[in-house]
Amino acid sequence: MSPNKVLLALTSYNDVFYSDGSKTGVFAVEALHPFNTFTNEGLEVDFVSETGKFGWDEHSLAKEALDGQDKIDFENKSSNFNKALAKIKTPKEINADDYQIFFASAGHGTLFDYPKAKDLQDIASDIYANGGVVAAVCHGPAIFDGLTNKSTGKPLIEGKSITGFTDVGETVLGLDSILKAKGLATVEDIAKKYGAKYLAPVGPWDDYSITDGKLVTGVNPASAHSTAVRSIKALEN
């Protein structure tokens, strides 16, 4: 039997977002940590974005966000991570039946494109309907805005427990006013909108992830690894 396959989704949004003029996009370790966690467990990983393109969140490349072995893996052009990224696919090139885990990585870019990423949402719905796992970390739960459970026709997260980046965290980062000005929904907003129960960690930077059946969510970059581990366990269960 071939190893289980993971579809690791990236935001395709890569534009100026921060007040210092930096761009948002994919938060580096929120793609790197899950990739390494899955591949170390023998799973195959393919990357996908709504447009087949992506760019990095510039704040996620700063020393406090990316250092040590992470920085080495990230900068090594021949790392498995970079080789897989070079083959990123569009949803049109994906057959949902080939994958058992859909993992939505994050960065504030996801707040712009995941709610409109109908093709990505479709694949996630199909994987879930096939008995697979749908997971999201940090701002990745933006993918749930408009995501339907195909077997019930209702929102996938309705009546489910989820977590994701906290409103408190947005305020601490000084980004709450930018989100309001741009009309972007936070993860907590999305949970409310679709009748999910939002669970928060004690502190916004704690490693915190939760499982509700085949739905797995994590709260921040520090939780990317534990969210991936939970995804594998949820699949086994």
- How much is the pLDDT for 2? 56
Percent of the chain with pLDDT over 90: 98
> Which residues fall within 8 angstroms of residue 216, CB to CB, at 6 or more apart?
133, 134, 135, 136, 209, 210, 227, 230, 231, 234
* Cα(174)–Cα(155) distance, integer angstroms: 31
pTM: 0.98
* Cα(222)–Cα(207) distance, integer angstroms: 5
Residue 22 has pLDDT above 60, yes or no: yes
Region 67-78 average pLDDT: 96
Amino acid at 228: A
> pLDDT band at residue 237, thresholds of 50, 70 and 90?
confident
> pLDDT band at residue 1, thresholds of 50, 70 and 90?
very low
Q: How many CB atoms lie within 10 A of CB 160?
A: 20
Percent of the chain with pLDDT over 70: 99
Catalytic residues: 138-139, 170
Residue 88 has pLDDT above 60, yes or no: yes
* pLDDT tens, position by position, 93-150: 999 999 999 999 999 999 999 999 999 999 999 999 999 999 999 999 999 999 999 9
Please state, rounded to an integer, the average pLDDT across all residues of the chain: 97
How many C-alpha atoms does 156 have within 13 Å on its Cβ side?
31
> Which residues fall within 8 angstroms of residue 48, CB to CB, at 6 or more apart?
7, 8, 9, 10, 88, 89, 90, 91, 94, 120, 123
* Cα(233)–Cα(211) distance, integer angstroms: 9
* pLDDT tens, position by position, 142-182: 999 999 999 999 999 999 999 999 999 999 999 999 999 99
Q: Specify the residue for token string 């309705």.
A: 158
Q: Higher model confidence: residue 2 or residue 103?
A: 103
Region 42-47 average pLDDT: 97
Q: How many CB atoms lie within 10 A of CB 195?
A: 12
Domains and CATH numbers, the chain: 5-235 (3.40.50.880)
* Cα(120)–Cα(33) distance, integer angstroms: 21
How many C-alpha atoms does 131 have within 13 Å on its Cβ side?
4
Residue 3 has pLDDT above 90, yes or no: no
Handedness of CA 191, 195, 196, 197 (dihedral sign): positive
* pLDDT tens, position by position, 198-231: 999 999 999 999 999 999 999 999 999 999 999 9
